[in-house]
Every structure is written in C-alpha cells, then in structure tokens.
Amino acid sequence: MKLDSRPILLSGLLAAALGSASCAKSEPAALPTPDHREVPTDAASLRLSFAPIVRKTAPAVVNVYSRRMVRTQVDPFWGMFMGGGIPQERVAQSLGSGSIVRADGVILTNHHVIDGAQEIKVVTADRREWAATVLLYDPRADLAVLKIDTAGERLPALAIDDTTDVQVGDLVLAIGDPFGVGQTVTNGIVSALARSDMSSTSVSSFIQTDAAINPGNSGGPLVDMNGDLIGVNTAILSGSGTSSGVGFAIPAALAKQVVATALGGGHAMVRPWLGVKAQTVTGDMAKSLGLATPEGVVAADVWPDGPAARAGVGRGDVIVSVNGQPVNDPGALNYSVATLAPGASVSLVVRKVSGGERTLEAHLATPPDSPPKDQRTIDGRNPLGGATVINLSPAAATDLGLDPFAGSGVIVTAIAGGYAANLGLQPGDFIRQINGQPITTVAELVSAISAPANGGWIIVIQRGGQTITARVRG
C-alpha cells in the first residue's frame, strides 16, 4: 500500500493484521419506521438511546480470523547468517468482522478479510469459536459468504434490507471489532450515496457514512434504525490509516445478490454486461453536447452486437438513467447493471448524439468469451518460462477486473518465478511480438517462443500505454 500526504482509500487495511437469506425488513416494536424521519426537538428526544437496536443486532455480528502461510525471501546479505538466503515461511493473520445473515450459520463478510486464507475462524458474540468454510467469494464486489456448522442450532441473524429507501441524513450504526479490542458500536449518519469513484472494487456504489470505521471493522454491518443490514463496511478514506469520518459500505442490494448466489449453490458470480465503455460528462463536454448541466455518461465505445448496440445505443450517445435511476459516472452505470441478472431487461433513457431523447430497452447478457482462454503456463528454457498466459476476451477481462475494451491478444495473468520473473514480466502485460512475429493467440506464442532466432529472442510487450522491447540471449 502506497502512503503519501494525500487522503487514501484503505480497504485491505480494514482487515486488521495480527432456510434462505432474509431480505424482508424486520418490524421491531417501538422503533420508528423508515419514513418517520424527525429532527430531535426537545431534551427528552436527545436522551433517546440506540440500545434497543444494539441489543437486537449485536448478537448477529461476528469476528472473522484468517490465517495463511506466506513465503518471504531473506535479504541476500543477511541470508549468509540466516539460512543462506532460503525463502522463509511465516504465518500471516488478519482480523475482520462479519454478519450472520441466516440462522443456520451463513455469514457475510469482505473478500479481503479472507483472501488467500488457509484457515478461517469465526468468533460469535457469545465468544464461541467456529471453523468456517467459504461458500463463495467475489473479489470484484469485495464480498465473501462463509458457513459454519451449527449442528442444527439457530443463531441470531440480521435481515438484509435491499430497498432503495436509504437517504442522506439517515441515522446508522456500524458494528465490528476495530483493532481487535472487542465488539464496538459507533453511530453516525449516511453522508452520501452512490459513491462510485473510490476504485477499491469494480462494481461499486458505496454508501458513505461518518460512523467511525477502523481496521478490524471490515465486513461488519452498517445497520439502520430498524436493525436491518443496509451495507457492509469495507473501506475508509484516510491520511493516517484510521477513521477520519469518511467510511464506505457496500450496499445491501449487491450483498443480497452475492448471498443468494451462494445459497443457490453457485461458487462464482456471473454478472451481466451492457457492452458500453462509459465516460463521465464534464462541464465542457456538456456544452459541446448541448446539455444544460453535466449529467449522464457518454458511451465512449459500444461493443459490436452487444446488448447496448442491439438496443440502439451508439458512440457519443449520453445514457441518462437505468431503470429510472440516474447514472452520472461509469461506476454508477456498472453498479446498476451488476445488481441485475443476465437476461434481464433494462430501460435506458438516452440522449442521442443525433438529437432527441429516447427510451431504449436492452436485454443484458454475459460478456462474450470468444476467443476461448486457452490458459497455459509456459515452461522450458525460454524468457517466458513461469508465466501463465491467456487469450483475452471481454469475459476474461471482466473476470480479471480489466477493461473489457482493452483489446485482444495474449495477456500475462500470473508469474511463478523462473525466467519470466527475471525478465521482469508482470500480470497484465500483453505479449505483442516475438522475433518480429505478431502474437494474437496463446498457440502462436507457444510456437514462437519454443526456439530462439539467431541465438535469442526479441519480445515486444505492451504495459499500459508503454511498449517495451526486450532482447534476450538464448
């Protein structure tokens, strides 16, 4: 994690180092309904307590501990005195929080809390420890669903409220285990909605809150005044690594979708695709497009014969709303699609570049998976030995969290040491040429790399906006 003087988004740091899912809103007695929003008007109102909500929700909040073995390379100099430079293994641990969302032990948390874990332990509010298994994890949304074996015991559970009733100014509670001190409750308000430019996930539309969130709170619930889960606390914006009153929670609508997929037997999320590369409308762009104010997103690129193209969306068109909800940046557009299922129909309000506003109906699909991945790990004595490569398609790019419009060709997805590591290859690199031969498929790469030309290889790599040429002797 890079630290500088500017505020930074911290999500991984929030995991501090060291029946069916209920979607209906609960109806607690003597608690205000969501539509009953009033500012306290007298001293008696100010003495009201959150204790009834805490008593209802806190028993369903758990601590999540994960352990994994990591290998670290000893510095070559100190290696002379400490094992001769042989990689050393150590146990890495992380602490986060979670919510029991089904009484038989189904638990919702963040993916970064359990990422790479070889052992996961859950501690319930009554201090009992349980071994947990992963039902599903979704790195794109930074969510994971765990299961503990309760042997038939029914545990306290939180209802998931996936309605769109949340409003800026609503009172909320954040519950978790910050810094490992024990279960802690903080309160605040919803500071903003649809924060989608935080870049910690690729399908994000965060609820922003000023309720204090700190390392260890990751995966814990953000609850409303009905005691329902409306978000999963996942990140903070901070210059110090601790709460500055700007925290972010993944909305319950996305969490509900992940839980439902896990309970339906799915082991990976399959999300729909609209087939549009969107760009935020700036003030200058609004003027050039003839818009009174900057609103909507420009379709900077449209995938040929994709759902948007078939619906009539063209390059330069401005998408104003999806299913009646305004979209003002690419993240909001991605989120509005991500909470739906492949095959679903969506209503798009579009201002055509040719003039006029139209309502179009698009039928969502999964991203195209052509060409097939053809994943291979290159072996042998050649510069790419140890690199795992695939053919890039929109489906593969989506799985990797890359731009589906990044292009086609052969891309490196992993480096397992070897010659590729010595060459400096990185995941995300495109292999464009080998010895002057254009590389468009994995099969072409394997053939071209099998033997050196004139005693060596000339490899052209594209990394971001740079083109790198490497010359390697045979």
Q: Tokens representing 33?
A: 């309904």
Q: What does DSSP say about strands 8-10 and 16-17: parallel, antiparallel, or unpaired?
A: unpaired
List, in sequence order, every residue forming a beta bridge with 154; answer none if it has no partner: none
**Residue among 22, 111, 142, 224 flagged as catalytic:** 142
Nearest to 410 by CA among 390, 394, 393, 424: 390
Q: Answer for the pair 30, 48: CB distance below 8 angstroms, yes or no.
A: no
3-class DSSP state of 257: helix
Q: What does DSSP say about strands 143-148 and 119-123: parallel, antiparallel, or unpaired?
A: unpaired
Greatest CA span in the chain, whole angstroms?
A: 88
* Cα distance between residue 7 and residue 281, in whole Å: 25
* Known catalytic residue at 267: no
3-class DSSP state of 52: helix
* Cα distance between residue 50 and residue 188, in whole Å: 11
3-class DSSP state of 339: coil
User: DSSP letters along 403-464, please?
Assistant: -TTS--EEEEEEE-SHHHHHHT--TT-EEEEETTEE--SHHHHHHHHSS-BTTEEEEEEEET
Q: Answer for the pair 371, 441: CB distance below 8 angstroms, yes or no.
A: yes
* Known catalytic residue at 45: no
Handedness of CA 371, 376, 378, 380 (dihedral sign): negative
Q: What is the dihedral of CA 76, 79, 84, 86, to 10 degrees?
A: -80
Q: Tokens representing 82?
A: 């400490």
* Cα distance between residue 304 and residue 440, in whole Å: 20
* Known catalytic residue at 142: yes
Is the omega angle on the peptide bond into residue 139 within 30 degrees of 0, that is, cis?
Answer: no
**Residue among 202, 218, 243, 336 flagged as catalytic:** 218
* Cα distance between residue 94 and residue 114, in whole Å: 8
**Residue among 112, 210, 224, 243 flagged as catalytic:** 112
Q: Which amino acid is at 87?
A: P
Question: Cβ-count burial of 3 within 10 angstroms (0-12 exposed, 13-18 middle, 19+ buried)?
Answer: exposed
* Cα distance between residue 231 and residue 209, in whole Å: 10
Q: Tokens representing 91?
A: 């146990």
Residues known to be catalytic: 112, 142, 218
